[in-house]
Structure 1
């Protein structure tokens, strides 16, 4: 197979999956695309936290048809291998696959060189595993070994650019999440070739460490093992207040940068004062527990002003848009809840939930949509009526989900109104608890 050649079939599939991916996300933001060089062989090296969603975040939103290098044990005989090759995924054999298998890497490296010689894009996860956490794993040596061997086989004439990449999700698996893809300044392999010729092992380690250092600022990396869950909870509860206190503007990218700063300060606090960290974490968990006892979320306690007005406006908006919700719900509920049930019950590792949801989504939804079109076609006499009906279904489904989220927020506001009006002492205790917690966290900034 000529991996370096542009594939029409790949391009057509990419357009369809890109649309499906758009329906899943609220926002898809690319940053630093000007760091991706033109007319140069590149290797894209992203962090890896969310299984199949990570390569999708790269290949769906760049101009390339990147060739991915993946561990050889996923290449099962038959359809799976054919599908992986169609998706431009090549096997890399490791010692654990058997010493006699390592020679098969010669073909992979030869194919990689062809891709690079044609100014194509390779892609490889330096961590060689996904963490399912906002936490970088130690980098392996695969990226430097591959680029050095490729340069060696091409007489150091490739001029490979490694593009460090950070992928950040607002949620790893929830529907309507947002994703940010940060492309960093490329690392030039040529800068390490002299060192490689003198001492290949030292140069391999140096390039590995340089790449790890370049990726870390592009993502959120909570280094704490003991307090990871707590720091994530603090991020959810206190993140907006921290952003405002540090002068960050509203927006997904700005909040990402603010959260980076806050996580760094929390890691620093843990390293110098573990007792204080434990105290803050215990207070945060208790506050979260108490908030949820009242059926609320922390953002309602943080910003209770104008709640009555917003409650009334939300109810009015829900009533006006109810027909839109009904249409979207009726024709999207079956595949949506079927996929959600299958994924939650059958997939034990939640790191794969988004991956299976995506795959099931772009296979099951079209089937259900066509069946629904057949069921209502008698009420749609003209062909363009049928086409319009079919085209509206995914958009209506997305609007129905947003209606549902607004409903949940309105219910929360209703509970807040009842708490503030009829249980004033409990409300005041909760508000005092939040203010005391924020006073402690404000010392971080």
Structure 2
């Protein structure tokens, strides 16, 4: 493992744990399969995707990256020191983005294949994103056969005795753009490439197609895949607002990313079933959801504010929240004042550098590593200069991340309290409007419960 990789990996792991509210890795043993190994993943979040995989694997990974990343001297240095291998894509040459003549593409990419073969020959690991492009959507785009061709070619050079495995990895994000969202790294069983030896000797292209199809099939079992934007919007609406009511005997703990993954997959299966067997029920549910969401937006409310509970629970929740807000304000103020600058810089930089959704999160992550990594020591040095006390400076440094996270939690509690106050004022002024919101909510819960019971009976 290179010195650069050893130095960079720990801060990246820490940054990922800070950036994501919940980050879950399923089947870590599979991800740490010994080489020669090709890791093939979907690609919804540009540079965040390779960081998530590399941070969870012990062995260093060489990655295939588009050649345009190697054009600037600084990015080329980063790519080379990270053991990235340039891939020359036809679309980049045709648009002029890559400085390679179209007729030169085949020769250069042939050299890329040889480099990959040599890397696998030495027992190395290779990361490939076979969709070819990064798009922030819950889809799996058609897979290119490059990963399969590299795997088969490396094995063919050693008469299919090298032992190359192809490992499908599904990357699922709750919201690829948002700080403190959730991520699930969902690793499938590896594919033994030597199993395709006979087919390859008979027809190499057919073997590459068959291996790519098996890769696609295994990736699909590890991903949330929606058919179009309308279906994705409906499922997100249900899972965000009413998802917890669809799980029998649910408790109040926050669902893990994998639990949310399973819920979303179930919702998608149920949606497809209802489109075929009871479209009228589905249409009624969709209509009520749209009306309810529109009413909530009109009054700047969320479903959380309408979750009633018993009068005793509401009273106790109000008292405890008020106490926490009052007693915690000094800590909140300290956290905001001393974390605001490093916290706000990443989002400002991301907004200035790109409008592409897929680049926002990785830019924020890298910029955040720099802003917090530079400003925390600088602020601590200033405290030491002003107080002359090393102990106070050390305590101040320790307080920064703790109070920063507390400030985020405090702000969420404050926003929740303000929302409930808006609901209370609306009830005092327009009680009929609030009662109508509660009726709409009860209707949706009834429709969802009926749908769940019918779906469970039909698919038992």
Same fold (TM over 0.5): yes
Cα contact 1:43–1:163 (8 A) shared by 2:
yes
Please name the residue that 1:147 is paired with.
151
Q: Does 1:307 align with 2:314?
A: yes
Shift of 1:396: 2.5
Deviations 1:89-118 (A, max 9, x none): 111223444231322234433332333233
Shift of 1:79: 1.8
Q: 1:371 aligns with which of 374, 378, 389?
A: 378
SS at match of 2:221: helix
Please name the residue that 2:84 is paired with.
89
Shift of 1:50: 1.5
SS at match of 2:21: strand
Shift of 1:134: 1.8
Q: Flag structure 1 segments of 5+ consecutive residues without an equivalent.
A: 1-5
Distance in 2, Cα, partners of 1:414 & 1:199: 69
Tell which deviates more after alignment, 371-380 or 284-293.
Answer: 371-380
Q: Flag structure 2 segments of 5+ consecutive residues without an equivalent.
A: 94-101, 456-460
Distance in 2, Cα, partners of 1:135 & 1:322: 43
Tell which deviates more after alignment, 22-31 or 102-111.
Answer: 102-111
Deviations 1:197-221 (A, max 9, x none): 1112222111111111101121211
Distance in 1, Cα, partners of 2:251 & 2:180: 27
Please name the residue that 1:39 is paired with.
34
Distance in 1, Cα, partners of 2:293 & 2:160: 57
SS at match of 1:173: coil
Distance in 2, Cα, partners of 1:213 & 1:310: 47
Distance in 1, Cα, partners of 2:353 & 2:31: 39
Distance 1:73 1:383, change over 3 A: same
Cα contact 1:45–1:123 (8 A) shared by 2:
yes
Please name the residue that 1:68 is paired with.
63
Distance in 2, Cα, partners of 1:267 & 1:342: 41
Cα contact 2:336–2:404 (8 A) shared by 1:
yes
Distance 1:158 1:186, change over 3 A: same
Please name the residue that 2:261 is paired with.
256
The 5 A counterparts of 1:350-365 are 350-365=357-372
Shift of 1:133: 1.5
Please name the residue that 2:223 is paired with.
219
Shift of 1:420: 5.1
Cα contact 1:302–1:434 (8 A) shared by 2:
no
SS at match of 1:321: helix
Q: What is the aligned length?
A: 440
Deviations 1:24-51 (A, max 9, x none): 1222211112334643421111222122
Cα contact 1:222–1:264 (8 A) shared by 2:
no
Please name the residue that 2:356 is paired with.
349
SS at match of 2:184: strand
Q: 1:190 aligns with which of 194, 202, 223?
A: 194
Q: 1:58 aligns with which of 53, 71, 74?
A: 53
Shift of 1:282: 3.3
Shift of 1:257: 0.8
Distance 1:303 1:264, change over 3 A: farther
Distance in 1, Cα, partners of 2:352 & 2:234: 26
Please name the residue that 2:2 is paired with.
7
Q: 2:438 aligns with which of 404, 423, 431?
A: 431
Shift of 1:336: 1.8
Deviations 1:161-199 (A, max 9, x none): 111111222221222222211111111111112112111
> What is the TM-score normalised by the length of structure 2?
0.88
> What is the TM-score normalised by the length of structure 1?
0.90
